[in-house]
């Protein structure tokens, strides 16, 4: 394995240097910029695919504390953190070539390549000894095959090095620091922000291990989390509200991509990808919708995210259904916190940074129809899957989208709601419909319209004051 990895490292370095530093007609052509952006998008796409591949390091350690201690390596954890941050930073630096962003991609891209190969054997061992297989036994032998994982690792590392070195080649004058303080300031500002916003959800368990701090509904940790959310939005808004549109796009692109990765990466630590884990839940669905809203600048996506996804995420923060016995830094807890926190913060920033124009009364139609399309979509999908689950007696198809299909889960949060599940009708001894689904429809709709009305009032007043 060592021979394979060393040979791959040499080939990656040679290929990157040859392609970048050999003078070509292509480098001077107009197609060069499109080519580099395409390579950056390929790197992003392959990194996204990697999040579905088995990885022991990302496994949820709750009842396996001894194994966690055995795997515990702070240096390797930091290497993984740096590598994870570059998944978002490198592509965004090619879309928006800001100086500090390119500095991070260039300097830390090369550094990450070096450290990744130093720890390459650990990477591969974690891959082939993984305990979590998102697709069950399907393709299991292929996903943990050393040849496949080494090949995939080398392809990603080659792309990373190529993109990092190309920044040095094409933007060397912009990357130069004016002095020592300029370099120190870049490091002190950039790295903490990236660690906070782009950390893998399984990073905390290797540093916080099993802390005695627990998080549950409205306990001390949950209240601190609730208080921190508006503070995060306020800080970002104060820093970026007078910055250029490009700066705002950089911030939102990094945060939204990180949010998308937080949800997607959980598949390889959550075990089998069942129907219940598909992104049809309001918060899961929001992870991808927010990325689409940021990239396309689609006003309707932004309004939906701010008025509807925020409601779902806010309720999740208040209810906070996490396994408290595993401690705050348990992988699932960090996933729960980072995902819902990101949905609320990024959605609100779309409004506070005026990325979508101030709200209008006519946007109420977007909220109403958007909610109806979402509700009836998950209602039909959820009913179909739960019917299959009941007929086949197979829990793989069981799901609880919008929390209106699973009585036991609902009763844990709201004990009195159990009676509503019992009030049901069966259609042709096939599909079951309960009164709770009707209640969920009207209650959520009322909450979404109320949230929109609040935002309409706030942003209309602010817009008039600015005039």
Q: pLDDT tens digit string along 333-370? A: 888 888 899 999 999 999 999 887 678 888 899 999 99
Question: 267-292: per-residue pLDDT in tens?
Answer: 777 666 778 888 888 888 888 899 88
What is the model's pLDDT at position 51? 83
Query: Which residues of the chain carry a pLDDT beneath 70?
Result: 1-30, 59-72, 131-132, 136-138, 172-175, 177-180, 183, 189-199, 206-211, 270-272, 324-325, 357, 413, 416, 427-430, 461-467
User: Using alpha carbons only, what angle is made at residue 347 by residues 303 and 373, rounded to the nearest 5 degrees?
Assistant: 40
What phi-psi label fits residue 380: left (phi over 0), alpha (psi between -120 and 50 degrees) or beta? alpha
What is the model's pLDDT at position 257? 87
Go through 258-290 and write b for each residue having 16 or more CB atoms within 10 A of its CB, e for each that does not: bbbbbbbbbbbbbeebbbbbebbbbbbbbbebb
CA–CA gap between residue 290 and residue 310 (Å, rounded)? 11
CA–CA gap between residue 467 and residue 464 (Å, rounded)? 5
Q: How many C-beta atoms lie closer than 10 Å to residue 231's C-beta?
A: 9
Go through 403-433 and write b for each residue having 16 or more CB atoms within 10 A of its CB, e for each that does not: bbbbbeebeeeeeebeebbeeeeeeeeeebe
What is the model's pLDDT at position 296? 85
What is the model's pLDDT at position 466? 46
Give me the chain's average pLDDT, please: 80
What is the model's pLDDT at position 127? 82
What is the model's pLDDT at position 467? 41
What is the model's pLDDT at position 393? 87
CA–CA gap between residue 45 and residue 156 (Å, rounded)? 10
């Amino acid at each position: 394995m060592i021979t394979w990895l060393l040979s791959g490292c040499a080939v990656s370095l040679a290929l990157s240097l040859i392609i970048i530093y050999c003078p070509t007609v292509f480098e001077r052509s107009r197609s060069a910029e499109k080519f580099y952006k395409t390579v950056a998008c390929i790197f992003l796409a392959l990194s996204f695919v990697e999040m579905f591949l088995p990885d022991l390091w990302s496994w949820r350690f709750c009842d396996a504390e001894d194994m966690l201690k055995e795997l515990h390596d702070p240096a390797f954890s930091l290497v993984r953190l740096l590598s994870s941050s570059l998944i978002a930073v490198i592509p965004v630096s090619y879309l928006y070539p800001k100086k500090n962003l390119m500095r991070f991609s260039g300097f830390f891209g090369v550094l990450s390549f070096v450290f990744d190969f130093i720890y390459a054997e650990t990477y591969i061992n974690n891959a082939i000894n993984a305990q979590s297989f998102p697709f069950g036994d399907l393709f299991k032998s292929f996903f943990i095959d050393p040849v496949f994982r080494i090949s995939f690792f080398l392809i990603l590392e080659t792309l990373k090095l190529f993109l990092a070195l190309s920044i040095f080649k094409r933007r060397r004058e912009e990357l130069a620091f004016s002095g020592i303080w300029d370099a120190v300031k870049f490091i002190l500002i950039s790295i903490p922000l990236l660690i906070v916003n782009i950390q893998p959800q399984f990073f905390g368990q290797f540093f916080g291990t099993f802390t005695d701090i627990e998080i549950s509904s409205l306990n001390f940790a949950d209240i601190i989390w609730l208080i921190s959310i508006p503070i995060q939005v306020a800080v970002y808004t104060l820093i970026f509200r007078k910055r250029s549109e490009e700066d705002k796009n950089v911030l939102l692109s990094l945060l939204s991509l990180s949010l998308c990765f937080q949800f997607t990466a959980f598949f390889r630590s959550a075990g089998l990808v069942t129907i219940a884990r598909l992104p049809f839940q309001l918060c899961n669905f929001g992870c991808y919708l927010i990325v689409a809203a940021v990239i396309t600048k689609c006003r309707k996506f932004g309004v939906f995210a701010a008025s509807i996804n925020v409601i779902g995420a806010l309720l999740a923060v208040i209810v906070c259904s996490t396994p408290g016995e595993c401690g705050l830094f348990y992988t699932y807890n960090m996933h729960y916190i980072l995902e819902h926190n990101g949905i609320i913060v990024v959605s609100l920033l779309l409004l506070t940074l005026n990325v979508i124009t101030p709200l209008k009364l006519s946007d109420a139609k977007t909220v109403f129809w958007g909610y109806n399309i979402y509700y009836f979509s998950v209602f039909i999908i959820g009913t179909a899957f739960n019917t299959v689950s009941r007929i086949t007696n197979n829990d793989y198809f069981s799901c609880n989208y919008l929390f209106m299909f699973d009585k036991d889960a609902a009763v844990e949060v709201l004990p009195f709601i159990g009676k509503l599940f019992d009030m049901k009708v069966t259609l042709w001894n096939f599909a079951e419909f309960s009164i709770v689904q009707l209640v969920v429809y009207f209650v959520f709709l009322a909450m979404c319209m109320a949230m929109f009305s609040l935002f309409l009032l706030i942003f209309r007043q602010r817009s008039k004051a600015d005039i």
